[in-house]
Structure 1
Amino acid sequence: MNRMLRSRYLPAFLMLAAMLALPYVLPSTYYLRVASMVFVFALAAMGLNLLLGLAGQVSLGHAGFMGVGAYAVAIGPTHLGVPAIPSALAGVALSCLLAYLMGRPILKLKGYYLAVATLGCGLLISMVLTNEAQWTGGPDGMGVPRLVLFDAPVRGVQTWYYVCGVALVIGMVLAINLTFSPTGRALRAIRDSEVAARVVGIDVARQKLFVFVLSAAYAAVAGSLLAFVNGHITPDSTSGFLRSIELITMVVLGGTGAVLGPVAGAAILVILPQALTVFHDYEHMILGLVMMACMIALRQGLVPALTARFRERTA
């Protein structure tokens, strides 16, 4: 039993060890900031991975929930006088409420109909954030007040690095617990066959709605962290269509269903553009070629494919 638990939580332990070791290896705080961005987007992608990899439901508008979480921590303190932490919790609650209201009708759809419906939800949220300029600053965005805890502002790249890293590890542990719970087994049954899941007594609609709301909560928390780390947000940087595409690309590239998959996918899509800036006009072309090569050579995704090859060599 202990051995099983250790292997189950091994990805979280590896992530925690890497988070604690990186500050002693990286040469400057710039790299810590890049690592913080990896943690933030990995957290959002992890919620989407539960929806896509565990339950088999596609969402092309998930960045909209990131935008809700990000703007909650900006609008609350700026316009309403609400402290940052309650504003962040309100953003998560609002994201869950929106996911619940939207999910009830759209999760009855399947395939590309579901993808287009979720895309519409994401675009709708982004349009609201763009057009309500008196609250959000419009396309130019708005500044985010510093987080204050116990009358002391939370500042510093290294501080936010650890905050984002701990949030990611907690998100991983929750995802692992869900995966191996009865609810996780029910979601996997739905992914394999909704008809068979209904036959054995699983409430398909309820389970799909639950994981959709949970994935929205992950995205909202990630959005709040993104706002705090950057200090300034815009609708495009938090809830734009391309951001949603990036999130789903992180999940697929890293490996759907794998706990470390979103982390690997986020690392590729965050770090590679930074590393390829030396190529100037060719960086996007090279990034596209690298992603194509990864998907051709590692069709299951980066983490599952490498794990399978490691097991073959050690068998």
Structure 2
Amino acid sequence: MKTSTRGLLILAVVLAVLPLLLPNSYYFDVAIRIALNAVVVVGLNLLMGYTGQISLGHAGFFGLGAYASAVLTANYNWPPFAALAAGAAATGLLAFVLARPVLKLKGHTLAMATLGLGIIISIAINNEGQWTGGPDGIAVGALSAFGIEVAGEKQWYAVAAVLLLAVTWLALNLIDSPVGRALQAIHGSEVASRVAGIDTTRYKVRVFVLSAVVASIAGSISAHYVGFITPNMAGFFHSIELVTMVVVGGMASVFGSILGAALLTLLPQLLSAFEGWEVVVFGAILMATMIFLPRGLVPSVGLMFSARKRG
């Protein structure tokens, strides 16, 4: 059995067993938020970890999905899943239009361009108050289909868990395909990839669009789950949080993405005991992780086990 298949089965078992161990609605809420964050981070890791393209504006795509669902359902009475699909399609189209000029850049210039994109989306959401509610935010209706409404923490957990499993399966299959090998070749060297006959621009555009659409879908689901959204979810600090989840969990590691999302979603809850010092302790933990585990948690631990076996 492939390592990726085994990992996916383990993830499915963990997600199936976890609801039996969660004692109350608070823990269900944390688990749901972890799963939804992990969905975005898995998609972002395909872009950053496997293809080597930096994005500091991914929260903008997350926010576009959230606001598309909120505005279309609240103001135009669209069915929730139709609004979700429209938001994902619009986000994918925007990402496709912007990908070619943006992804021609490299290094810090690419980072600044994606940062600017995220800031523009955040400003637009803030300023278009007649549609988005502006800085005050907007209420989002329940998620429903065919007259059946998702209600209660167990149903929401099932939605988030299924979505995470689907995105993880998609990412693992993509990585094991010729497309995935082309993405990793681009990360290694774009020049060598072109010499080998790989259309680097096409592949970079595709993975950028895919990661944006995944973020949009997660944003739509999150909006319905939370029930009220503000422009902060599309802001710069949320983008940095998503990138940090990728880096801490492990670049070019799907399961590292999930672990990174889990840790960085849990840490603020666990550090609440350090009254007034939460941010300092949080920063110290991140620094220590990068110093002692520079590849991220999952790849670094994997290398340690491999070295012990060889020894």
Question: What is the TM-score when the length of structure 1 is the normalising length?
Answer: 0.96
The 5 A counterparts of 1:206-221 are 206-221=202-217
Asked if residue 169 in structure 1 is aligned to residue 165 in structure 2, the reply is yes
User: Does the CA contact (< 8 Å) of 1:130 and 1:235 recur in 2?
Assistant: yes
Per-residue deviation, residues 244-285 of structure 1 (Å, max 9, x unmatched): 000100000000001111111111111010111111201111
Asked if residue 74 in structure 1 is aligned to residue 70 in structure 2, the reply is yes
Q: Secondary structure at the match of 1:281?
A: coil
Q: Which residue of 1 aligns with 2:114?
A: 118
Mapped to 1, the partners of 2:88 and 2:201 lie a distance apart of: 22
The 5 A counterparts of 1:1-315 are 3-4=1-2, 7-236=3-232, 238-314=233-309
Q: Give the CA deviation at 1:149.
A: 2.0
User: Does the CA contact (< 8 Å) of 2:293 and 2:300 recur in 1?
Assistant: yes
User: Does the CA contact (< 8 Å) of 2:79 and 2:145 recur in 1?
Assistant: no
Mapped to 1, the partners of 2:167 and 2:153 lie a distance apart of: 21
Mapped to 2, the partners of 1:240 and 1:20 lie a distance apart of: 33
Per-residue deviation, residues 135-171 of structure 1 (Å, max 9, x unmatched): 1100111111001222132111111111111101110
Give runs of ≥4 in structure 1 deviating > 6 Å: none
Q: Secondary structure at the match of 2:276?
A: helix
User: Does the CA contact (< 8 Å) of 2:142 and 2:225 recur in 1?
Assistant: no
Mapped to 2, the partners of 1:222 and 1:148 lie a distance apart of: 16
Per-residue deviation, residues 163-196 of structure 1 (Å, max 9, x unmatched): 1111011100100111011111111111111111
Alpha-carbon RMSD? 1.1
Q: Secondary structure at the match of 1:9?
A: helix
Q: Give the CA deviation at 1:23.
A: 1.2
Mapped to 2, the partners of 1:24 and 1:153 lie a distance apart of: 23
Mapped to 2, the partners of 1:150 and 1:94 lie a distance apart of: 24
Mapped to 2, the partners of 1:130 and 1:143 lie a distance apart of: 15
Q: How many residues align?
A: 310
State the percentage of identical aligned residues: 47
**Structure 2: gaps of 5 or more residues:** none
**Structure 1: gaps of 5 or more residues:** none
Q: Give the CA deviation at 1:97.
A: 0.6
Mapped to 1, the partners of 2:148 and 2:185 lie a distance apart of: 48
User: Does the CA contact (< 8 Å) of 1:36 and 1:164 recur in 2?
Assistant: yes
Q: Give the CA deviation at 1:51.
A: 0.3
User: Does the CA contact (< 8 Å) of 1:11 and 1:259 recur in 2?
Assistant: no
Mapped to 1, the partners of 2:7 and 2:165 lie a distance apart of: 9
The code of the aligned residue for 2:20 comes to Y
Mapped to 2, the partners of 1:58 and 1:92 lie a distance apart of: 21
The code of the aligned residue for 2:238 comes to R
Mapped to 2, the partners of 1:22 and 1:280 lie a distance apart of: 30
Mapped to 2, the partners of 1:205 and 1:287 lie a distance apart of: 38
